[in-house]
Amino acid sequence: MIFVNFKTYQKGTGKLALFLAKSCLEVEKETGVKIIPVVQAVDINLLKDFNVFTQHVDDISFGPNTGKILPQAVIEAGAKGTLLNHSESKIPFQVIGSTIQKIKALDNNFKVLVCCESIDEAQEIVEFKPDFLAYEPLELIGGDISVSKAKPEVISEFIKMIEEIPILVGAGIRTKDDVKKAIELKAQGVLVSSDLLLAKDFKKELKELTLAFKK
């Protein structure tokens, strides 16, 4: 599977996000590789007909929480899951756990993908039982060297130590070979963003990444 984080790039906002989501679905249908757009909370309603995750929710319930993202709201808007603890939106361990607990009490089918920067961090998070973990070393995010090339031994160790939760890898994923290496290391998929969102031809680049899943 490929999670595509739209972040707040212009191409990934509003009507342009809708265009990218359509491209993701088209590539998924053509290749059989599951592709999940990870979008801004304000765009969920626009994209509710797609299998989208939101980029974050807060550890809150109904009440006076101005400026926060309410889990009930994104579920009702049509999101199928959420990203938590991305390097650009870090939260404490106890908040991760409490947020997951809230979400699962609301809708056990709503999925949670938690990012972590190290094995030590992952071992703290795994007890909260997220649906997916994404290993993203901070120093490689948005860079030219992929995590699968720079730290293959860490990925292997990561996956061996955390067998009960599907593992994704991210940070610097740019090419089919980057994805292929991650899959060879037993990752279930990848989390990508900048290279795709800044590409001249988003759909072409995304389709190229899916080739890594072919045997």
Q: What kind and span of H or E run contains 82?
A: strand 81-84
CA 138 to chain centre: 15
Q: Which of 28, 117, 121, 136 is catalytic?
A: 136
Residues 36/1, Cβ–Cβ less than 8 Å? yes
Q: Which of 28, 86, 117, 205 is catalytic?
A: 86
Q: CA-to-CA distance for 36 and 58, rounded, in angstroms?
A: 21
Q: Looking at this protein, which amino acid is placed at residue 147?
A: V
Place of tokens 């059989």: 32
Burial of 178 (0-12, 13-18, 19+ CB in 10 A): buried
Close Cβ partners of 132 (under 8 Å, ≥ 6 residues apart): 111, 112, 113, 114, 165, 166, 167, 168, 188
Q: Is 56 in the active site?
A: no
Encoded tokens for 165: 């939760």
Catalytic machinery residues? 86, 136
